[in-house]
Structure 1
Amino acid sequence: MAVYRKRDNRRLPDDRTVTQGRTRSVGLLAVGHAGVDIYQGAVPAVVPFLVLERQYGYVAVSGIVLAATLLSSVVQPVFGALTDRVRMPWLIPVSMVTAGLGVALCGVGDSYVLTWLAVALSGLGVAAYHPEAARLARAASGGNHLAMSWFSLGGNIGFALAPIVVTPILAAGGLPASPWLIIPALLGGLVTTAVLRSLIAGSAATGGAKADRGRDDWPVFIRLTGIVIARSIVYIGLSAFVALWVQQRVGGGETAGAAALFVLFAGGAAGTVLGGKLATVWGRIRALRLSYAASIPAVAGVVYAPGVSVYVFVALAAILLYIPFSLHVTLGQDYLPNRVGTASGVTLGLAVSVGGVATPVLGAIAEATSLQTALTTLLVFPVIAWLLGRTLHEPAALEVAAAR
Structure 2
Amino acid sequence: MQSRTQEAAAFPNANAAGKPVMEVRPTAFRILLAISLVHLCNDTIQAIFPAILPILKENMNLSYLQAGIIIFTLNMTSSVLQPVVGFYSDRRPSPYMLPIGMVLTTVGVLIIALSGSYVLVLMAVLLVGLGSAVFHPEASRVAYMAAGSRRGLAQSIFQVGGNAGSSLAPIMTALIFYPFGQFGAIWFTLITGLAIVVQLYIARWYGAYLATQAPQKKKVEAKKMDPAKKRRITSAICLLIFLIFVRTWYHSAISIYYPFQLMDKFDFSLKHTQIYIFIYAAAGVLGTFLGGPISDQIGRKNVLFLSIFGAAPLALLLPYADSLWAYPILFINGLILLSGWSVAVVYAQELIPGMIGTVSGLITGLAFGIGALGAVAIGGLIDLTSLNIVMTSASFLPIIGLLAWFLPSDREIKQWSTEDTGA
- Structure 2 distance, partners of 1:99, 1:389, is 40
- Structure 2 distance, partners of 1:102, 1:386, is 42
Who is 1:89 aligned against?
Answer: 95
Deviation of residue 297 (structure 1)? 1.6
Report if the CA contact (8 A) 1:295-1:317 is conserved: yes
Cα separation, partners in 2 of 1:76 and 1:242, compared to 1, 3 Å: same
Cα separation, partners in 2 of 1:186 and 1:380, compared to 1, 3 Å: same
1:157 to 161, 164, 167: 164
1:170 to 167, 177, 189: 177
Deviation of residue 28 (structure 1)? 0.8
Who is 2:208 aligned against?
Answer: 201
The amino acid that maps onto 1:265 is A
- Structure 1 distance, partners of 2:206, 2:37, is 16
Alignment RMSD (CA, Å): 2.6
The amino acid that maps onto 1:179 is I
- Structure 1 distance, partners of 2:172, 2:271, is 19
Who is 1:313 aligned against?
Answer: 329
Q: Secondary structure at the match of 2:168?
A: helix
Q: Does 1:38 align with 2:44?
A: yes
Aligned residue runs from structure 1 range 326-341, under 5 A: 326-341=342-357
Deviation of residue 209 (structure 1)? 4.6
Who is 1:402 aligned against?
Answer: none
Report if the CA contact (8 A) 2:82-2:134 is conserved: yes
Q: Deviations over 1:62-83 (max 9, x none)?
A: 0111110012111111111111
2:386 to 361, 364, 370: 370
- Structure 2 distance, partners of 1:289, 1:235, is 16
Deviation of residue 166 (structure 1)? 5.2
Q: Which stretch has the larger CA shift, 390-399 or 166-175?
A: 390-399
Report if the CA contact (8 A) 1:250-1:256 is conserved: no
Deviation of residue 253 (structure 1)? 0.8
Deviation of residue 167 (structure 1)? 4.4
- Structure 2 distance, partners of 1:143, 1:46, is 41
The amino acid that maps onto 2:397 is F
Who is 1:237 aligned against?
Answer: 253
Q: Secondary structure at the match of 1:252?
A: coil
Q: Deviations over 1:204-253 (max 9, x none)?
A: 34556569899673332222111111111111222111222223344431
Deviation of residue 55 (structure 1)? 2.6
Who is 1:227 aligned against?
Answer: 243
Percent sequence identity over aligned pairs: 28
Give TM-score scaled by structure 1 length. Answer: 0.88
Q: Deviations over 1:282-322 (max 9, x none)?
A: 11111111222211122223222122211221112211111
Q: Does 1:293 align with 2:309?
A: yes
Report if the CA contact (8 A) 1:35-1:96 is conserved: no
Q: Secondary structure at the match of 1:396?
A: helix
Cα separation, partners in 2 of 1:330 and 1:47, compared to 1, 3 Å: same
Report if the CA contact (8 A) 1:229-1:354 is conserved: yes
Q: Does 1:396 align with 2:414?
A: yes
The amino acid that maps onto 2:324 is V
- Structure 2 distance, partners of 1:250, 1:238, is 16
Report if the CA contact (8 A) 2:82-2:137 is conserved: yes
Who is 2:124 aligned against?
Answer: 118
Cα separation, partners in 2 of 1:143 and 1:325, compared to 1, 3 Å: farther
Q: Does 1:65 align with 2:71?
A: yes
- Structure 1 distance, partners of 2:66, 2:326, is 33
2:105 to 73, 84, 99: 99
Deviation of residue 42 (structure 1)? 1.6
Q: Secondary structure at the match of 1:392?
A: coil
Cα separation, partners in 2 of 1:297 and 1:210, compared to 1, 3 Å: farther
Deviation of residue 274 (structure 1)? 1.5
Q: Which stretch has the larger CA shift, 113-122 or 202-211?
A: 202-211
Who is 2:12 aligned against?
Answer: none
Q: Which stretch has the larger CA shift, 194-203 or 135-144?
A: 194-203
Q: Secondary structure at the match of 2:414?
A: coil
Report if the CA contact (8 A) 1:299-1:379 is conserved: yes
Cα separation, partners in 2 of 1:167 and 1:76, compared to 1, 3 Å: farther
Q: Does 1:268 align with 2:284?
A: yes
- Structure 2 distance, partners of 1:207, 1:81, is 20
Q: Secondary structure at the match of 2:279?
A: helix
- Structure 2 distance, partners of 1:179, 1:285, is 43
Cα separation, partners in 2 of 1:143 and 1:67, compared to 1, 3 Å: farther
Counting matched residue pairs gives 385
Who is 1:76 aligned against?
Answer: 82
Who is 1:179 aligned against?
Answer: 186
Give TM-score scaled by structure 2 length. Answer: 0.84
Cα separation, partners in 2 of 1:60 and 1:107, compared to 1, 3 Å: farther
Q: Does 1:346 align with 2:353?
A: no
